[in-house]
Structure 1
Amino acid sequence: MFSDQDGSAASRRTGETAPVGAREALLGIIEGDAEELVASFYRTFLKHEEAANFLSHSVVQERLSHSLCRWLRAFFRDEPDDTEFAARQKHIGEVHARIKIPIHLVLEGASLVKSGIARRLPASSLTGEEMAAVLILLDERVDLAMRLMSEAYFIGTRQRAQVDEAYRLFSLGQDISMERESQRAALMEWSQSALFGLFGGQGNATLKPISASSFGLWLRHRAGMMFQGAAALDPIEGIMQQIDSVLLPKIADTRTGDASGLPQAVERLQAAIEEINFLLAELFQGAAALENGRDPLTRTLNRRFLPSILSREISLATTSGAAFCVLMIDIDHFKRINDQGGHSAGDLVLRQIADVILDSVRQSDFVFRYGGEEFLVALVETRLEDAVRLAERIRKTFTEQSLRLPDGGELTVTASIGVAAFDGHPDHAYLVNAADKALYRAKEMGRNRVETALPSDHDAPARQDAV
């Protein structure tokens, strides 16, 4: 079946030109059975407890099915030393790193595809020598792809780890004393609110869980990154769980039944709060200014931390089932401000714009300067309808609030905002792209409006910068 010009097919290496006959034989198998190979891949991996977490999302399944088919069909058409071939494998490795697919699952998947193709060889009309040549080519080509993917994967993982650590150090480098006092005040505010609900004439009021308080949100979303690995984190979370699951229900029972146990229950609650305060002080102890990670003009977060923070929030949302939304905010016709008043006017206005956004969100949320006059806001534990409501409030604030100019004049601006809710996809880029597409649609529809991402937006490529 192989032509004489193929030479000794079994002895060729992947770095050289692959035997034409072996390549054609493999292409024939793949062209005929690509869909079944992909289906077999899914049947196996959806039963795999660890792999199923990355494949259960419908968009991932649909996209990966098509992508895997295309990858298989292109795999043996391209020469292994072709720039496009290498770039394609490296891109796949970068995506795997971004969504944190363990490398052993990637290698296991490659082995599954390889064995699926090999099992189809006996049904072909190949001779034993030809079959050996095909198997060698199959092994070498898949192994080369895995090497290229793995290199990109480890580079991406190392870079992400560096950025994660930089953000952790940056977080510690904020005004630690102010942050500590702010969170102690938030904890005290919850404690006083709970006690007032008990003894301040609101005996039938529902006690708000501490996990849902401002302090609870900060601990879950900010402290986890700031003090990653700190010994005091787990005990604080454990005490908060005990308050919500044991102490508050106990207090509720004493209010509706025998009230004699109420003083003891309240005493235990106060002791738990004191223990959290002690651990909180321990958490902040020794923190010092380390690395500046804010945009110098707006004091919002640097965009370099976006992957670290969104990846972590997606992981938290996936684990807890909590809602999570992103706003993409762009100031309409901002270029006119620079053109008419110069960059000093643009900078002053931009700082005030950032202040409006920062004042509109909670301490547990994240505000980034995404680029130019564009901001990205990550709203933790926020449902889509609440995110849209906040976006409308921000948009309306811009239309009503006068912003200062260097010459003493004033102006108002308008903003277009795209809103997207986390839908389970493990890659944060899809969530950002969805908000970006919604923003682009808001600008196309006349600006100064809020648009919500459509289901198709979550699977769309990022737009070019809007005009």
Structure 2
Amino acid sequence: MAARSGSPTAAPTDPRLIADWTRRLQSVDPAVAHLLHGLVAELAPALADHFYDGMLQDPRANRFLDPGQVQARLKPSMQRWLHQLVQADAAAVEALHQLQEHVGQVHARIGIPVDLVGRGMRLLKERMHEGIASGAGSHAEALAASLQLDGLFDLALESMTRAYTRSREAAGELDGSFRLFSLIQNVGTERERQRALLLAWENTLLYALTAEQPGPLEGLLLSRSEFGLWFLHKGLASFGETSETRQVGELAERIDAALRERLPPATSAAGRRVLLDDIRGWTAAIRDLVGILFEGIGDLESGRDALTRLLNRRFLPTILRREVALQASTGRQFAVLMLDLDHFKAINDGHGHEAGDRALQHVAAILVENTRGSDYLFRYGGEEFVAVLGSVSQTEAVAIAHALRRAISGAPLALSDGTRLQLSASIGVAVQDGHPDYERVLARADAAMYQAKRAGRDRVVVADGPLPEPPGHHAGQD
């Protein structure tokens, strides 16, 4: 199976920062260190409460901090961080610095504003200063402890910010590259496909409006159509934020609003004709705008796997960040499927690497045929694939996973010597649970896939509750 992915490659450590950490830890007076250790031991729970109470007062924090997760995970994490910060000695400076870098990388993945982190640090220092003032044996000791505390917090924040800035810059460059990357193997074909899907939706609406009973409203909305899902999950990500994409979004919202407001009362044939004429005009404008968008899109090979023609993992963080943001703004869940081709080593060993390559291409084609145009398909590495399914419930995601498993097992690969090679796959399913760090949903799908392997292969396992960590993942990372 493919090697597991870890954190992005770290930049070389700043020797000046490490030297500052070392000097700070070597020069601390033992009495001061003892005072700080005692304060954290006594106040850690109250400090964690103070930190997150202050953070949650900012409306922006609602996107990043769920009260349940704060209580169950983040407050204990904060207490451990405080203990590690004040108890470290000069021999542990590298580990201490790496811890802050990891925290900064997590903050970058989540996209939490730097000023929120800075505010939390300030709140912690203020409360700690109060404890120092009441617990120090002398004014001089209180001053020395306050200076030591401020130095430790400032160095921690500098290390976090360094990693945060580096990660955000890399993510920004990748997002820019993604907008230049087509995601589409044939621009002309995809343009015509989306025009056809838009026309098919319009015809469906026409038939519904001329029928005595139009049917369920949700099934007629443009946002729920194949075209609407493609535009939300792929079109916007590919074309970026432009005046054209904004206009398409506004027109789609106008169409759905008109259907919601006017369809139930429009019981007369004349009323429905007026509604249909309005919608046709807006749909025609959408077709024109989509044509303009496609004229400016390129087809870069650097983001596609050469063997399977699926996306490679380079753009997976970009897609997952976008789906997390969509979930936060629209409430629409997304799911990740992690799929591993069973007994792949035996295929290579028994039939040769050419057969292994053909098996991967065969499975990739099945994935394309059995997923929606709004879904993203990646070759994750080796014999592993990832599908990102937008706007799905857990029930829908599981149904798609089972359909993929059946399609793979039901389509043996014909080899050049006439052998029919039976294939199967183990699939892990994870629905985004509201946590803003996309690595968590990916890790949960990965763990579910490994459980499917251990349970006998050729099956689907849902990440529903605690699952064992898969090999290569670091347990306990936030």
Q: Which residue of 2 aligns with 1:135?
A: 146
Q: Which residue of 1 aligns with 2:174?
A: 163
Q: Which residue of 2 aligns with 1:96?
A: 107
Q: Which residue of 2 aligns with 1:6?
A: none
Q: Which residue of 2 aligns with 1:464?
A: 472
Equivalent residue in structure 2 for 1:85, among 72, 75, 96 = 96
Shift of residue 206 of structure 1?
Answer: 3.6
Instruction: Name segments (4+ residues, structure 1) moved above 4 Å.
Output: none
Q: Which residue of 2 aligns with 1:232?
A: 244
**Residue 115 of structure 2 is aligned to residue 107 of structure 1:** no
TM-score normalised by length of structure 2: 0.90
- 1:31-50 → structure 2 map (5 Å cutoff): 31-50=41-60
C-alpha RMSD over aligned residues: 1.9
- With 331-340 and 41-50 compared, the bigger mean Cα shift is at 41-50
What SS does the corresponding residue of 1:451 show, helix, strand or coil?
strand
**1:325 and 1:382 in contact (8 A); partners too:** yes
Paired with 1:320 and 1:155, the residues of 2 have a C-alpha distance of 29
Paired with 2:70 and 2:375, the residues of 1 have a C-alpha distance of 27
**1:46 and 1:56 in contact (8 A); partners too:** no
Note closer, same or farther for the CA distance 1:74–1:276 as it changes in structure 2 (3 Å cut): same
**2:183 and 2:311 in contact (8 A); partners too:** no
Shift of residue 100 of structure 1?
Answer: 0.9
Note closer, same or farther for the CA distance 1:174–1:204 as it changes in structure 2 (3 Å cut): closer
Paired with 1:277 and 1:399, the residues of 2 have a C-alpha distance of 39
Q: Which residue of 2 aligns with 1:443?
A: 453
Paired with 1:376 and 1:57, the residues of 2 have a C-alpha distance of 30
Q: Which residue of 1 aligns with 2:195?
A: 184
Q: Which residue of 2 aligns with 1:355?
A: 365
Paired with 2:297 and 2:376, the residues of 1 have a C-alpha distance of 21
Paired with 1:461 and 1:86, the residues of 2 have a C-alpha distance of 25
Q: Which residue of 1 aligns with 2:225?
A: 213
- With 51-60 and 414-423 compared, the bigger mean Cα shift is at 51-60
- 1:233-272 → structure 2 map (5 Å cutoff): 233-247=245-259, 249-255=261-267, 258-272=268-282
**1:348 and 1:404 in contact (8 A); partners too:** no
**2:63 and 2:328 in contact (8 A); partners too:** no
Paired with 2:275 and 2:56, the residues of 1 have a C-alpha distance of 47
What SS does the corresponding residue of 2:298 show, helix, strand or coil?
coil
Q: Which residue of 2 aligns with 1:380?
A: 390
What amino acid is the match of 2:308? T
What amino acid is the match of 1:209? L
- 1:414-453 → structure 2 map (5 Å cutoff): 414-453=424-463
Paired with 1:184 and 1:228, the residues of 2 have a C-alpha distance of 19
**Residue 132 of structure 2 is aligned to residue 124 of structure 1:** no
Paired with 1:213 and 1:202, the residues of 2 have a C-alpha distance of 22
Q: Which residue of 2 aligns with 1:7?
A: none
Shift of residue 367 of structure 1?
Answer: 0.9
Shift of residue 248 of structure 1?
Answer: 5.6
What SS does the corresponding residue of 1:413 show, helix, strand or coil?
coil
Shift of residue 412 of structure 1?
Answer: 1.3
Residues 406-443 of structure 1: CA distance to partner in whole angstroms, max 9, x if unpaired? 33322111111111111101111110111111111111
Q: Which residue of 2 aligns with 1:5?
A: none
Paired with 2:235 and 2:67, the residues of 1 have a C-alpha distance of 29
In the comparison of the two structures, how many residue pairs are matched?
Answer: 449
Equivalent residue in structure 2 for 1:223, among 221, 227, 235 = 235
What amino acid is the match of 1:152? A
Residues 37-57 of structure 1: CA distance to partner in whole angstroms, max 9, x if unpaired? 111112222222112321215
- State the structure with bigger RCO (CA 8 A, min sep 6), 1 or 2: 2
Shift of residue 372 of structure 1?
Answer: 1.0
Shift of residue 240 of structure 1?
Answer: 0.9
Note closer, same or farther for the CA distance 1:438–1:463 as it changes in structure 2 (3 Å cut): same
**2:342 and 2:425 in contact (8 A); partners too:** yes
What amino acid is the match of 2:94? T
Note closer, same or farther for the CA distance 1:82–1:125 as it changes in structure 2 (3 Å cut): closer
Shift of residue 282 of structure 1?
Answer: 1.8
Q: Which residue of 2 aligns with 1:289?
A: 299
Residues 44-98 of structure 1: CA distance to partner in whole angstroms, max 9, x if unpaired? 2222211232121533542221211111011122136711111111111111111
What SS does the corresponding residue of 1:55 show, helix, strand or coil?
coil
What amino acid is the match of 1:401? A
Q: Which residue of 1 aligns with 2:7?
A: none
Note closer, same or farther for the CA distance 1:61–1:312 as it changes in structure 2 (3 Å cut): farther
What amino acid is the match of 2:472? Q
What amino acid is the match of 1:261? G
**1:171 and 1:226 in contact (8 A); partners too:** yes
Q: Which runs of 5+ in 2 are unaligned?
A: 1-21, 474-478
- With 439-448 and 13-22 compared, the bigger mean Cα shift is at 13-22
Note closer, same or farther for the CA distance 1:57–1:399 as it changes in structure 2 (3 Å cut): farther
Q: Which runs of 5+ in 1 are unaligned?
A: 1-11
Note closer, same or farther for the CA distance 1:180–1:205 as it changes in structure 2 (3 Å cut): same
Paired with 2:215 and 2:56, the residues of 1 have a C-alpha distance of 46
**1:303 and 1:369 in contact (8 A); partners too:** yes
Equivalent residue in structure 1 for 2:68, among 42, 58, 61 = 58
What SS does the corresponding residue of 2:24 show, helix, strand or coil?
coil
What SS does the corresponding residue of 1:382 show, helix, strand or coil?
coil
**2:180 and 2:297 in contact (8 A); partners too:** no
Shift of residue 260 of structure 1?
Answer: 2.8
Paired with 2:100 and 2:396, the residues of 1 have a C-alpha distance of 40
What SS does the corresponding residue of 2:243 show, helix, strand or coil?
coil
Residues 232-278 of structure 1: CA distance to partner in whole angstroms, max 9, x if unpaired? 111111111111111464244222xx433333222111111111111
Paired with 1:195 and 1:57, the residues of 2 have a C-alpha distance of 46
TM-score normalised by length of structure 1: 0.92
Paired with 1:145 and 1:292, the residues of 2 have a C-alpha distance of 37
- With 280-289 and 326-335 compared, the bigger mean Cα shift is at 280-289
What amino acid is the match of 1:464? G
Equivalent residue in structure 2 for 1:319, among 325, 329, 332 = 329
What amino acid is the match of 2:227? F
Paired with 2:31 and 2:106, the residues of 1 have a C-alpha distance of 33
Percent of aligned pairs with the same amino acid: 36
Q: Which residue of 1 aligns with 2:6?
A: none
Paired with 1:324 and 1:125, the residues of 2 have a C-alpha distance of 53
Paired with 1:57 and 1:236, the residues of 2 have a C-alpha distance of 36
Note closer, same or farther for the CA distance 1:408–1:17 as it changes in structure 2 (3 Å cut): farther
